[in-house]
Amino acid sequence: MAASIKKQMWRKFKRNFKPSALFRFLFDPNLCIPVMVLLFIAEFCVSIFVIKKIKYTEIDWVAYMQEVEGFINGTYDYMQLKGDTGPLVYPAGFVYIFSGLYYLTDYGKDLQMAQYIFAGLYLTSLLVVFDIYRRVKKVPPFVFFFMCCASYRIHSIFILRMFNDPVAMLFLYIAIDLFLADRWSLGCLMFSFGVSVKMNILLFAPALLFLLLVTQGIIRTVKNLTICAIPQVVLAIPFLLENPWGYIKMSFNLGRQFFYKWTVNWRLLPEDIFLNRTFQMSLLLGHIAVLLAFVFIKWRRYLPKIDVTSFKKPNIQLSPDQILLPLFTANFIGMCFSRSLHYQFYVWYFHSLHYLLWSTNLPVVIRILLLGIIELCWNTYPSTELSSSMLHLCHLVTLIGLWLSPAYTTPKKATTVQKVD
């Protein structure tokens, strides 16, 4: 009886409650643009401050410049391209982009110019991510503060370290924004450009394939997969003509060993286990098993059925959530089972964590706590047994939250959804 009275009182309160302008400014996902504008201005100022006041630390920039300098000087054999940190291990798109940066920064010597370029890259990435969140209308505006000014590590990756990971992720987010705008072919082209900079973008590929089959049908899926493949071949032509096996072996080396000293997620294990091939294979099998569980149990229920008997384009238009949730989930599963996460890899999933957590039924306090602990783990250098263990625990809680997400547990509605741009 008391519970029934409480429910009636709560319904009456919701009917009569009229949120203030400040409340809506902070908590209404439909009014996110003002907060985004303010945070973008703040981030512009923070970026300038970081460049002017915080000392640059060299990690990979010089090696990048040495690697592309060999290409500029006429070396097209990938087995011969190397820098201080070792051989070149990124695909051809990386070479062209960083060759451009080589010239824009006085042969890599003008570090401040490079930092300003990466600050522009960061702000551009933020605009694209904001547009993705604007379309989805799920995350309350106050959460964007945790995406922007609150993360030291993200500013470091972009502006103080100038890694290639943010370049690849910018292409990825542009691709996702195009998918949300129903521009699948152009989105696949951007996706391919991202892969041409760094292979981690392939973590999104299983979900993209599933979405293509649902929205485009078999024939158009083949067409879009061809769009994904062509840039990889065209960009690599000089290297394939010189030494095709050397290029494939070095730029798409899935068996490459990582250095234990840089691992963020596996410090809780001894180095011999970390380097053990059986352990690494078990992670791969775990990754595949969890991914398949989401594909066949969650995504098949969440998304319209794939009609393998028809070669026509389905008359289906997915909601932004139906596109974004599988893509971000697939990438997150890959992060959970990664053989090693280095500090710059944080940018691989940082901007998606807020959406993923707000797709769960976890209490808001727990979601914010998870964001804070994950940030703390990525800022612990060198990583410790505690920081690695806490990172895995946060990943596990988030993954369970996604598995139990209302989006996946609520029966799927109509197969054709009116898209709101």
Strands (E), 74-113: 82-83, 86-87
The SS3 assignment for 87 reads strand
Q: Quick: pLDDT tens for 132-155.
A: 999 999 999 999 999 988 889 999
pLDDT averaged over every residue in the chain? 91
How many Å apart are CA 366 and CA 398, to the nearest integer? Answer: 10
For the chain, what is the largest distance between any 2 Cα atoms, rounded to a whole number of angstroms? 82
How many Å apart are CA 391 and CA 269, to the nearest integer? Answer: 14
Size of the chain in residues: 421
- Lowest-confidence region among 180-184, 186-190, 256-260, 290-294: 256-260
Q: Is the pLDDT of residue 420 over 90?
A: no
**pLDDT confidence band for 408 (50 / 70 / 90):** confident
- Lowest-confidence region among 238-242, 354-358, 410-414: 410-414
The structure's pTM equals 0.92
Structure tokens at 341: 């996460």
Q: Are 210 and 297 in contact (CB under 8 A)?
A: no
Q: Quick: pLDDT tens for 38-63.
A: 999 999 999 999 999 999 989 999 99
**pLDDT confidence band for 417 (50 / 70 / 90):** very low
Going from N- to C-terminal start, the domains of the chain cover 33-252+261-409
Selection from 91, 74, 24 nearest residue 250 by Cα = 91
